Structure 1
């Protein structure tokens, strides 16, 4: 979005009261009438070139930044599978199942081996958290920003928030007139457009709406996948604690079995719950997804209150924040 914004900035000049954007060729000609522009500055050719460059930069930044976080999902699946195997081995030990070399859940059923493997599993959780804590902090921070801005961009382009009503919470009696003026103004906004400068405003509006909607869906889907992977590893690891709590002492037949149960209880208690956090700032579990949704809605409503992008800087310098041509003049 940043690359596209700069692309639009260099191709089109936004100014009040103008229905069509000033192309780069017209801008250069106006600045210096003696300067001749080659064919490469043709509006459509230059725009396509800049869009291709911007697309390449965006793809590189997007997938280059996510290659590291994608590894997080792989490690979470490894932790989940390792926890599942240990839980089944522990259950088979309590049920006095016979060892079977062909079944990975029925090998290494000795008490000492189970305790050692659980300590290794705990260390794997800690090392995964230490490795990805910084990446998780930056990933969730930028994903929340991306989702919020995508929602606001969609509302700005489609005119959803032009009418001063938002789910019945705020109502303006002059809503229809204000909405019409803001929609007319929004159709001429070139800075937010992902289409060619000379495209029809209605087509540009549909294209931009789909673009912001795609960014929102893609970002939120990525958030869900990463969060679900961490939550699945946490839930599977803590399932072993439930098995230990419900069945361990019932099957302890001698002092060695009781000492084994006590060792596992201490191990679980020192690392309870077994989960992955971003340096202690937040924990990757299912509750995190609800917190992200609530935080995103708060930021989105805050943007609706201030309406960045609908502020006229000239009017602000004169003491008026919003463009009088958009909201009307009461005087």
Structure 2
């Protein structure tokens, strides 16, 4: 879908065009030629005409206000971390979103996106340089050792540090890739995003639909849980609670400046760089999830939109609907029918809104909702693709790392038995000495966070398609489908498909789990070596290893006896 596919309909309202593979003649009984303008490019522009009997204007504005308020928790979160460049405001015409390049949110977003992009470039360049030893590290200490705190083979010390922190390294690679792609995609689509979010506040007035039920509360809970994880994760990393918590910031600092000073890990003030790397590591993790959380918000709105339309269709086909819903406000009707509120309908209003249940209005409303679906597809396609690609690689490596005794197993991949097994090994194995025993707790915290976000995102997207398919089930039950072609069926089978590469449904989530499990089996067959405690290379002696770990990681001495390789 092109970025400039936003169009203006009658009355100054914004509309989003979407591909329409269906011949409009099949809907001759529901829409006239004057109501649908088909362009040569195959894009439909639907004019959602106002009904002859106008509803209460104050109640229509209330619908738009509720949608606008749904964005409030995310806007606060985005502004706090300078990750949302748009501004929202209430005007005489309604609620709008706009992009102002001179505003603080826009400037902050550009600065933070630049920091992420530069960090990613330096990180990947120095990662390759470390693998190729370029620029080379002098194998022996120089004569002037005023800035060197010990002796050793610098090249093998560097390799030992990287291998010891291989899982934080993988986490950084995936997070940097996803954060960079997300920042670029949203910046590129910034004007489209502003128009798309504004269209949400306008379309609820046009088609008289309430989509905000429970969305603000849901997003508040999700963002609060995510914020709680960030606070805990930041505290444990700042405290040096476990080697894996301080090793991640250390290698991020190393791989950001290696091209300028290859022996940076030997510097006496390395702790300053490690502290800076900790803040940067923490911020990159936030940047990699910000737009995924925005996607969840849009999915909840889409889900409610299709639910309302489905119930209106059912009311028409069932000649007035059931006793449960016939007296309900049409704007809130589906949320009563689908989610089965008990007792008196809490959304019932004394002022009735005009019921848009004519076939012509149903068709136009459905196309408007499809516009919203296509807009979400265009805005989040690259972001979602990069997220799932990084999750498959990242989660697979973490599962293998669990086998190497540094994390816990994903329950969806293996079983809770492996978690118990890992806990037993981490407490009793000789590889885990002193503070290294706490590595499992830190990685477990991060894995729970990753699993929760993966499930929330996947189910939110799957619910959109499932609720949309309920409308198809209604049509089939009433015998209205008849003999329809594949293109016609596609029109009434909307999914979030993302550039036609895949459709987000629960089957896709199962496919991801199967892919991760298959990759896990392959890794077990090859069993690549991970040196996480002791050095097997004589060029990094035991004495130097102990000092090296304390110099680079500086984990707090939570145990009285810290052995070599803690």
Given the two structures, how large is their TM-score scaled by the length of structure 2? 0.38
Match of 1:280 in 2: 500
Alpha-carbon shift at residue 290 of structure 1 (Å): 1.2
Are the structure 2 counterparts of residues 158 and 313 from structure 1 closer, same or farther at C-alpha, using a change threshold of 3 Å? closer
Alpha-carbon shift at residue 126 of structure 1 (Å): 2.2
Map of 1:63-82 to 2, 5 A cutoff? Answer: 63-82=286-305
Unaligned ranges ≥5, structure 1? 7-26, 168-178, 188-200, 250-260, 315-331
2:384 match: secondary structure = helix
Match of 1:92 in 2: 315
Alpha carbons 1:148, 1:300 under 8 Å: kept: yes
Match of 1:22 in 2: none
Are the structure 2 counterparts of residues 282 and 313 from structure 1 closer, same or farther at C-alpha, using a change threshold of 3 Å? farther
Larger Rg: 1
**Please, which moves more after superposition, 45-54 or 213-222?**
45-54
Residue 35 in structure 1 maps to residue 266 in structure 2: no
Alpha-carbon shift at residue 149 of structure 1 (Å): 1.9
Alpha carbons 2:292, 2:384 under 8 Å: kept: yes
Are the structure 2 counterparts of residues 289 and 213 from structure 1 closer, same or farther at C-alpha, using a change threshold of 3 Å? same
Alpha-carbon shift at residue 158 of structure 1 (Å): 5.0
Alpha carbons 1:93, 1:109 under 8 Å: kept: yes
* Counterpart Cα distance in 2 of 1:63 and 1:300: 27
* Counterpart Cα distance in 1 of 2:476 and 2:305: 20
Q: Which of the pair is proportionally richer in helix?
A: 1
Match of 1:231 in 2: 462
* Counterpart Cα distance in 1 of 2:294 and 2:476: 33
CA offset digits 1:131-164 (Å, max 9, x no partner) = 2221111000101122112222232135999xxx
Match of 2:435 in 1: 203
Residue 216 in structure 1 maps to residue 447 in structure 2: yes
Match of 2:86 in 1: none
Alpha-carbon shift at residue 295 of structure 1 (Å): 0.9
Unaligned ranges ≥5, structure 2? 1-118, 124-136, 150-263, 334-353, 416-424, 538-566
CA offset digits 1:220-264 (Å, max 9, x no partner) = 221111100011110001101111111255xxxxxxxxxxx7799
Are the structure 2 counterparts of residues 65 and 305 from structure 1 closer, same or farther at C-alpha, using a change threshold of 3 Å? same
Map of 1:99-110 to 2, 5 A cutoff? Answer: 102-104=329-331, 105=333, 107-110=355-358
* Counterpart Cα distance in 2 of 1:81 and 1:159: 38
Given the two structures, how large is their TM-score scaled by the length of structure 1? 0.62
1:147 match: secondary structure = helix
Match of 1:245 in 2: 476
Report the aligned-residue RMSD.
Answer: 4.2
CA offset digits 1:61-90 (Å, max 9, x no partner) = 222122222221111111101101101111
* Counterpart Cα distance in 2 of 1:123 and 1:277: 14
Are the structure 2 counterparts of residues 87 and 295 from structure 1 closer, same or farther at C-alpha, using a change threshold of 3 Å? same
Map of 1:113-262 to 2, 5 A cutoff? Answer: 113-157=361-405, 184=430, 186-187=431-432, 201-204=433-436, 206-247=437-478, 249=480
2:319 match: secondary structure = coil
1:157 match: secondary structure = coil
**Count of residues in correspondence between the two structures:** 246
2:500 match: secondary structure = coil
* Counterpart Cα distance in 2 of 1:113 and 1:75: 24
* Counterpart Cα distance in 1 of 2:525 and 2:299: 39
* Counterpart Cα distance in 1 of 2:528 and 2:373: 43
Alpha-carbon shift at residue 267 of structure 1 (Å): 8.2
* Counterpart Cα distance in 2 of 1:287 and 1:112: 34
* Counterpart Cα distance in 2 of 1:247 and 1:92: 12
* Counterpart Cα distance in 1 of 2:525 and 2:487: 50
Are the structure 2 counterparts of residues 235 and 159 from structure 1 closer, same or farther at C-alpha, using a change threshold of 3 Å? closer
